[in-house]
Structure 1
């Protein structure tokens, strides 16, 4: 999973990135694009590893991407490089300033959110209009375009002309014909209100956008926390009433926002977590491991993690009848432990 961090100048994007990735760059490198890869914490993987004592234990990972600095609120030409950089991200994290201080005016979160959405919408509108022009040209040359694609693009144009981000329309977001366009305003977005150290509250209701996923981060505080030893960090968490680190909270909200779950494979060689979308069928989950497993799929031997914890061992779970065989169309559940049977 790759998450792009965006926001207006002075929103604290870099501080958010460093808080989430537990990294600090030299001042000279802060103008460049940065990538930070974080292991997704999952106690279930740790417990399974303790049970099986594998040679390798592999957690899933999240990649945070901070595009090179640019003036998000400036001319469109300056912004295009930033939007091009984040177009291949799975979702966007929008850092919104919600702090005051020397050199800063009062925060204006709703206006800041609207400004970034406007940039995303303009970028998508350019893509839609170019594609529609190309399809119209093809039609004049005798090549008949897909009526379904044209209809979808015209719907996109209508929504974008009305200054509405495409993420508000699930049928457009999930349309297979539009996947290759990687529309920016269609990407899932988590809004992070970057608060002052002593403030852990969301902005007032009038500043909150309708239907958007929002949470608070005290980025400067969390950045300092990320550089501490585990012992000092725990004391820090208690002092500032932080129940979990920003990294853990943002990852969990990102998984929820994107509808992601984890299943596990276990054995003496390896205990591993795999990330898939909710309602993924067993045959497609198999492909995440290897395309050959999907090709030769026979059955999926499935045991729920909670059932294994109750039974104590895999063998005991078999005796209790909680290990079951499922076919290709079984919808994998979060926490399923799966052994794929296949033949190629």
Structure 2
């Protein structure tokens, strides 16, 4: 799972990146002209995987992973910024979801304007998609009219997408279009699942800021600077501080949980003496596609999969007891 972190300049994107990954990236680097993104991979914490590992005692335990990409600057295709926009699009197109960081703290005496910043960022994503959309519609219309080639179904979907975005709405609110296989290759930014992180300062109380969130977006509020400092402490020390201030879990735990929910992901566990491993898969997919998450060859040559529910294994104690109770099942 790959997640891109975006936001208006000065919103605290790199602070949130550090809070989520435990990194120590320079928080003002982009304002000093740095263009390269910050990237880090973190493992997905899962107590179930820990329990399975203790049961099977494998040579290796492998957690699912999330890669965070901290994108510098502001996403914008306006005012001659096309060259830098091309660089940003190369970074953002492959991501599975976006984290919009919204400033909710005073900066150089300037008060926070979270609603205005959220609306601005959303508009910029839509505007960027429209630029790409208009070029493709124009090209397709010429191909269909003059050369009598081109996909008319694709053109029709693109025009529907344009109507939505011209109303100022993001495509993510229209999954039948946003998730259409025909348009998948475009990787429209406004179609990507999105979590808004309200980056609240120490001077602002949590849960006191009103924010109107667009449809199909999840809101998470964090005290970014505090979470960044905690993420850079030794785990035991950070846990004590969290207990003192009433934080139940690290920021990265909360964001990963929300990301899994947003993307409709669950974990498939494979177990054995060599390795116990967690694989993120889409909830509800057929067993054959789930096998493909492990290896593409398994999907191609798939026959069936023997499946045990985690709760049944824990309740009954071992695989033999699960089989005896008739709880094992074959999928495929």
Aligned residues: 325
Aligned equivalents of 2:176 and 2:22: distance in 1?
37
Q: Separation in 1 of the partners of 2:181 and 2:130?
A: 19
* Comparing 174-183 and 157-166, the one that deviates more: 157-166
Structure 2: runs of 5+ lacking an equivalent: none
Residue 91 of structure 2: which of 69, 73, 85 is its match?
85
Q: Is the counterpart of residue 321 in structure 1 residue 326 in structure 2? A: yes
Alpha-carbon contact 1:73-1:115 (below 8 Å) kept = no
Q: Counterparts of 2:26 and 2:213 in 1: how far apart (Å)?
A: 35
Residues in 2 aligned to 1:109 and 1:27: alpha-carbon distance in whole angstroms: 20
**TM value normalised by structure 2:** 0.93
What aligned pairs does 1:298-309 form with structure 2 within 5 A after superposition?
Answer: 298-309=303-314
Structure 1's unaligned 5+ residue stretches are 328-344
| C-alpha RMSD of the superposition | 1.9
1:90-126 alpha-carbon deviations (Å, 9 max, x no partner): 100000011125x132211111011111111111111
Structure 1 residue 70: deviation in Å?
5.3
Structure 2 contact 6–13 (Cα < 8 Å) conserved: yes
Cα 1:70–1:41 change in 2 (3 A) is same
Q: Does 1:2 align with 2:2?
A: yes
**Deviation by residue 1:186-218 (Cα, 9 ceiling, x = unmatched):** 00010000012364533544x222432101011
CA gap of 1:215–1:76, structure 2 versus 1, over 3 A, is: farther
1:215 counterpart SS class = strand
Q: Report the Cα offset of residue 28 of structure 1.
A: 8.6
Aligned to 2:276, what secondary structure does the other structure show?
A: strand
Partner of 2:62: 58
Query: What's 2:187 paired with?
Result: 182
Compared CA separation, residues 37 and 174, structure 1 to 2 (3 A): same
281-290 or 193-202, which deviates more: 193-202
Distance 1:148 1:271, change over 3 A: same
TM-score (norm 1): 0.89
Residue 72 of structure 2 corresponds to residue 68 of structure 1: yes
Maintained 8 Å contact 1:225/1:233: yes
